[in-house]
């Protein structure tokens, strides 16, 4: 992780403390895994703007975390349509593991990324590629691995 991304993560943690939100070790670990995978997949497909990658913790994770705070405690399900890189759905799932979060993405390559990230969260993916509504990862994997 670059020094700038690391300082971005520290700023994220500071902002969450200022907002009165305790980020548990488990939540932080889920978010770090998500960011690590996003950086790896970013080399193969465009998940976030290249200019925002260094500030991912502030530009994407913090923005999404602010939404997690607003989801009513009585909510049981959340759907993120057009999930792309998983913002805000994956972050909400990390903060609210009791929620059933469904990520819907029509781009098969992005759905494959979401499928890899989802096992480490409470989110499930659904790809609308080809109109088949298939559940789970589909499409290319970075480096051709699987």
**Torsional sign, CA 36, 9, 110, 90:** positive
Residue pLDDT, tens place only, 42-65: 999 999 999 999 999 999 999 999
Looking at residue 79, what is its pLDDT? 93
Q: How many other CB atoms are found less than 10 A from the CB of residue 92?
A: 25
Helix or strand run (H / E) with residue 100: strand 100-105
**What is d(CA 128, CA 35) in angstroms, rounded to the nearest whole number?**
24
Residue with more model confidence, 67 or 135: 67
CA distance 46 to 73: 33
| pLDDT above 60: residue 26 | yes
Buried/exposed 7-28: b ≥16 CB within 10 Å, e otherwise: ebbeebeeebeeeeeeeeeebe
> Which tens digit of pLDDT belongs to each residue from 90-143?
999 999 999 999 999 999 999 999 999 886 555 666 666 444 333 333 334 444
Give the model's pLDDT for residue 20. 92
If you search the block for the tokens 């997949």, which residue do you land on? 41
Which CATH number, 3.40.50.150, 3.40.50.300, 3.40.47.10, 3.40.50.360, labels domain 3-144? 3.40.50.150
Q: What is the mean pLDDT of the chain?
A: 84
pTM: 0.81
């Amino acid at each position: 992780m670059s020094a700038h991304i690391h300082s971005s993560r520290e700023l994220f943690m500071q902002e969450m403390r200022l907002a009165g939100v305790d980020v548990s070790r488990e939540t932080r670990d889920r978010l770090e895994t998500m960011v690590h995978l996003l950086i790896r997949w970013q080399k193969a497909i465009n998940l976030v703007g290249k200019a925002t990658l260094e500030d991912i913790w502030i530009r994407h994770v913090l923005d999404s975390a602010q939404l997690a705070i607003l989801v009513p405690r009585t909510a049981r399900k959340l759907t993120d349509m057009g999930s792309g890189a998983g913002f805000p759905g994956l972050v909400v799932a990390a903060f609210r593991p009791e929620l059933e979060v469904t990520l819907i993405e029509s781009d098969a390559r992005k759905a494959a990324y979401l499928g890899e990230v989802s096992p480490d969260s409470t989110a499930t993916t659904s790809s609308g590629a080809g109109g088949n509504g298939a559940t789970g990862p589909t499409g290319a994997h970075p480096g051709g691995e699987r």
